[in-house]
């Protein structure tokens, strides 16, 4: 049977995707001036980003940043996760927005606009989940 971290990562994936999709829909609508295009971009990325985010969580779960074998849960770790996820997420958004809108400039504008909004939102999401014990068999020391 899979360890409880899978449940935690799945729950984090779903909550983040909800926040991220709403942000993308609003940014896409603003950039393109078309609500339908914003909805198409937001809904399309729901599928790609659910998969990419889950994989990102699994990779970070296996990354060991501490010398004594413990996984380090800290603000630095959350910042590093934020940066790596934002790179992956922005690239995904740029490509999808370009394909759906048919305009590479719209894809770039949407992608770069969300760099700021999503990094802030993601950091807050990570900090909230750091306080939640769901899916943890044993809570490691908090800072």
Residues in the chain: 143
Please state, rounded to an integer, the average pLDDT across all residues of the chain. 86
Residue 60, class by beta-carbon neighbours within 10 Å (0-12 exposed, 13-18 middle, 19+ buried)?
middle
- The count of other CB atoms within 10 Å of the CB of residue 138 is 6
- The count of other CB atoms within 10 Å of the CB of residue 44 is 18
Q: Express each pLDDT in 50-65 by its tens digit.
A: 899 889 988 988 876 5
Q: What are the residue ranges in the chain where pLDDT is below 70? A: 1-4, 64-73, 138-143
Euclidean distance between CA atoms 120 and 116, whole angstroms:
6
Identify the pLDDT of residue 73: 62
């Amino acid at each position: 049977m899979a360890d409880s971290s899978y449940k935690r990562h799945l729950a984090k994936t779903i909550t983040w995707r909800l926040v991220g999709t709403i942000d993308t829909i609003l940014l896409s609508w603003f950039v393109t001036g078309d609500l339908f295009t914003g909805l198409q971009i937001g809904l399309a990325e729901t599928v790609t980003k659910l998969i990419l985010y889950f994989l990102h969580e699994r990779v970070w779960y296996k990354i060991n940043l501490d010398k004594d074998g413990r996984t380090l849960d800290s603000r630095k770790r959350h910042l590093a996760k934020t940066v790596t996820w934002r790179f992956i997420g922005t690239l995904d958004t740029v490509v999808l927005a370009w394909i759906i809108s048919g305009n590479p400039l719209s894809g770039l504008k949407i992608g770069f606009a969300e760099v700021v909004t999503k990094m802030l939102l993601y950091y807050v999401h990570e900090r909230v989940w750091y306080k939640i014990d769901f899916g943890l068999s044993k809570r490691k020391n908090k800072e």
